[in-house]
Amino acid sequence: MSETGSLLSALVCRSCATEVDAARPAGTCPNCGGALFAVYRLDRLDAGTWRRSLRDRPTTLWRYRELLPVQRTEDMVTLGEGLSPLLALGPIPEAPGLEVSVKDDGGMPTGSFKARGMAVAVSRAREIGLRDLFVPSAGNAGVALAAYAARAGLRARVYLPERTPAPQRNACAAYGAEVRAVPGNIREASEVARAVEKDRGSFDMSTLREPYRVEGKKTMGLEIFEQTAEHEGLPDAILYPTGGGTGLVGMAHAFSELDHLGLLERTPRLYAVQPAGCAPLARALEAGAARITPWADPRTIAPGLLVPSPFASEPVLAAVRSTRGAAVTVTDREILVAMHLLASRHGISASPEGAAPFAALPKLLARGDLKAGERVLLYNTGTGLTFSREDLERTLGLEPPLR
Ligand SMILES: Cc1ncc(COP(=O)(O)O)c(C=O)c1O
Ligand SMILES: [Zn+2]
């Protein structure tokens, strides 16, 4: 048995400061029901040595093993996830004066950034003795759970909204997960999943109801740091397509740990990009509210952004506010145009979610949130190769959009 060197010390609730033993399975805070977050003994890490040692490590997210929860190397379940490319776009006519790059997770195993969270969470689940996992999902998280559970030899059940795109639904089944289609959106899928699974002794892998997926998503921020630190430094702003918002929490978490380690020169401003037809986090940020209120009648062509009532919105709002970022909304039509431009002009295939940040560029520039000369990173969270433009146009024009 060999050790990863993980510095995980405990799980802590940010709402009520309750501390929980990380060696045992834990979902949410036993005291207040809030999200639990991993904390690490960062004082035991020599930051300079660690930074230098990264050069010789595997080109996967496991290169950051000290800052991940898995304790034994044989428990790391991997499909080669992480270290996705950072691609410069060159001049953008729609957003003149900005220096824009795309962090492209379209090539991750299972086609989206969800591989990051599930690789870490499934590894940790197996390590602490869990065998039977389930998740309600808009599609991509379900595919990632199915694949990593297969790789780990664990059982997986996936609850999908019935209008989940066929490629995602088929992939869950192909990886051997049990699939159940639920009428409604992710909120209804979650309710059905929890009701069905209640007495089964199975474990809920929903984001932020389980503490380790966000740790995997943290590697988005660690990679952005590592990929820019030796060149121009961290970008001024990161635009992220936001559904539940865990990715924002993960990146903020990364920057805060790097800051504790004395490695961070500045923190990029985090911008939450949401579809105009489902924007509960953007609404709460604009109103200065403490938490979200559920979005009535949610609609968008971006399945992963159809999250009308994100769980644990406080840490998501805090991630944006603490970095002096903001929110912005884009329409489905703007998302379609952005998908087209990214693919046909820049050679980057983005899903509707992943294209949303590109659509947000001119708006943030016009609003003065972004200024000429700034360096801006767009996060492409998933491949567009599983989407057909004709289907999306039909959904937009002739049929009611996803709801
Ligand atoms: C491709 C894609 N992008 C973005 C998101 C939203 O992620 P988050 O929960 O971090 O806001 C999802 C969630 O399903 C997704 O599948
Ligand atoms: Zn609590």
What are the pLDDT digits (tens) for 152-209?
A: 999 999 999 999 999 999 999 999 999 999 999 999 999 999 999 999 999 999 999 9
Mean pLDDT of 71-92: 97
In the predicted structure, residue 20 carries a pLDDT above the cut 90 = yes
Centre of ligand 1 to C-alpha 302, Å, is 9
Output the furthest CA–CA distance in the chain (Å, rounded).
59
Answer whether 161 contacts ligand 1 (Cβ < 6 A). Answer: no
Query: 160 near 135, Cβ under 8 Å?
Result: no
DSSP reduced 3-state for 380: strand
Residue-level pLDDT at 385:
96
* Domain 114-204 architecture: 3-Layer(aba) Sandwich (3.40)
Mean pLDDT of 382-394: 92
User: 88 — phi, psi (to 5°)?
Assistant: -75, 140
Query: 268 near 236, Cβ under 8 Å?
Result: yes
Render pLDDT for 243-261 as a digit per residue (tens, 0 to 9).
Answer: 999 999 999 999 999 999 9
Residue-level pLDDT at 230:
83
Residue-level pLDDT at 380:
98
Tokens of 299: 């609609």
Render pLDDT for 43-59 as a digit per residue (tens, 0 to 9).
Answer: 999 999 999 999 999 99
Partners of 101 in the β-ladder: 88, 377
d(CA 28, CA 18): 11
Contacts of 285 by beta carbon, 8 Å cutoff, 6+ apart: 272, 317, 320, 321, 326, 327
Percent of the chain with pLDDT over 90: 95
d(CA 334, CA 277): 12
Residue-level pLDDT at 140:
97
- Considering only CA atoms, which of 379, 360, 355, 380 is closest in space to residue 370? 360
Centre of ligand 2 to C-alpha 29, Å, is 5
Residue-level pLDDT at 393:
86
Residue-level pLDDT at 396:
79
Centre of ligand 2 to C-alpha 12, Å, is 8
In the predicted structure, residue 400 carries a pLDDT above the cut 70 = no
Q: What is the chain's mean pLDDT, rounded?
A: 96
What's the DSSP call for residue 293? -
DSSP E strands: which ranges in 318-374? 326-330
Query: What element of type H or E holds 86?
Result: strand 86-88
Mean pLDDT of 25-43: 97
Residue-level pLDDT at 395:
81
In the predicted structure, residue 398 carries a pLDDT above the cut 60 = no
For atom 6 of ligand 1, the residue with the nearest CA is: 243
In the predicted structure, residue 124 carries a pLDDT above the cut 90 = yes
According to CATH, what is the number of the domain 86-112+211-397?
3.40.50.1100
CB-based burial label for 198 (10 Å; 0-12, 13-18, 19+) = exposed
Return the percent helix, strand and coil in the chain, to nearest 5: 40, 15, 40
Mean pLDDT of 59-82: 98
d(CA 384, CA 348): 9
Query: 126 near 77, Cβ under 8 Å?
Result: yes
Answer whether 108 contacts ligand 1 (Cβ < 6 A). Answer: no
Answer whether 13 contacts ligand 1 (Cβ < 6 A). Answer: no
